[in-house]
Structure 1
Amino acid sequence: MIHLTPLEPFLKRYFPIFMAAIFCGFLGGSAVVFLIEHYYLRLAPLVLRTSFDESAAALLAGIITLCNFMMMYGRPQWVWGMVVFFVACLLIALPAIQFSLHPLLYAESLFWPLLGLLILNSRRHREMRGKFLELRYRRKRIREILRRRQRKFSG
């Protein structure tokens, strides 16, 4: 397998911050789903809450996965999907103070989205997105060179 960049230093530098953003998304999303299920929808029937819980968890996991995969593929504008995700988690969690829930649960539902936004705005995460974009351009250039070679030998 041909690597376009040395893999070990790249992973040592950027993998922890990449995974931290993903885990903040999962933890923040799960805290918000818990808030919605147990406080916003507490008077709804159990069947509705259970079906909401499963579908919301699958949808949030899909959003996080899609945004991070597209960023990894070299599309840095997909970071805005994660930003919208974290801001939506904050906007859903902030009014939950009126339910007088446990302070640790409320703090957790605010902490993970705020930490996720901080990670997305960090210098290292921006560097990583720039490196992914650079790798995308390298792959595109290699494909063009290989196509020209193929046309040259076939024609």
Structure 2
Amino acid sequence: MNRGPEFQEFMQRYFSSFMAAYFLSTYALAATFWLVWHTYCKACTRETLFPVSLFTLVFMLVTAHAAVVRGRDWGAWLVALFCVGSIIIVLPTYSYRPHLFIYSSALLTGLSTLLVLNSRKYREMCVQLFEYRQKRKADRVAVAKRPKVIRQRR
């Protein structure tokens, strides 16, 4: 997509909802990760499992958001799955008496992310990004079908 007026209009309309979903889901994942490692996994070894699990979760979440940007509909579903999983994992940690702010903010940001993902604006953005993806695909096919001109060197 070039940086013409169409791009500026798209960014003005949808950038805020995309960034809200991105940062809310990132915080929900971080708070859930903290709660899991300070409640369920207190006795776990942290030398290898901690960084590997953190890297894997962050990589999957960033990949899901990148898929949304590239016009793939499964990206939004994966982000929603992360948020639902975050809520399901966080709820039972209440019996361990976690820090109340982190507990409540993990639940709140997970639910808020689901609310943003279900908003009309975010769904419009996903449809628009899918249409841009289809245009890019059609452009690649058109370029591939064009006859190639071979230039001779002098």
* Superposition TM-score, scaled by structure 2 size: 0.87
Native 8 Å contact 2:35 2:98 kept in 1: no
Instruction: Spell out structure 1 runs of 4+ moving beyond 6 A.
Output: none
Aligned residues of 1:74 and 1:133 also touching (Cα < 8 A): yes
- 2:6 alignment counterpart: 6
Note the residue ranges of structure 1 that are not aligned, 5 or more in a row: none
Per-residue deviation, residues 105-131 of structure 1 (Å, max 9, x unmatched): 210110111111111111111000000
CA distance in 1, matches of 2:16, 2:41: 36
Q: 48-57 vs 109-118, which deviates more?
A: 48-57
Structure with a larger share of its residues in helix = 1
Aligned residues: 150
What is the aligned-residue identity percentage? 29
Indicate yes or no: 2:24 matched with 1:27: no
1:67-96 CA distances to partner (integer Å, 9 max, x unpaired)?
A: 111111111122111111111111110001
Asked if 1:127 is matched to 2:127, the reply is: no
Check whether the contact 2:71–2:132 (CA below 8 A) recurs between aligned residues: yes
AA partner of residue 28 (structure 2): G
- How far apart are residue 21 of structure 1 and its match? 1.1
Question: Residue 38 of structure 1 corresponds to which residue in structure 2?
Answer: 38
Please tell me the root mean square deviation across aligned C-alpha atoms, in Å: 2.0
Q: How does 1:6-155 map to 2 (within 5 A)?
A: 6-42=6-42, 44-45=43-44, 48-150=45-147
Gaps of 5+ in 2: none
Contact 1:41–1:49 (8 Å) recurs in 2: no
**Matching residue's letter, 2:41:** L
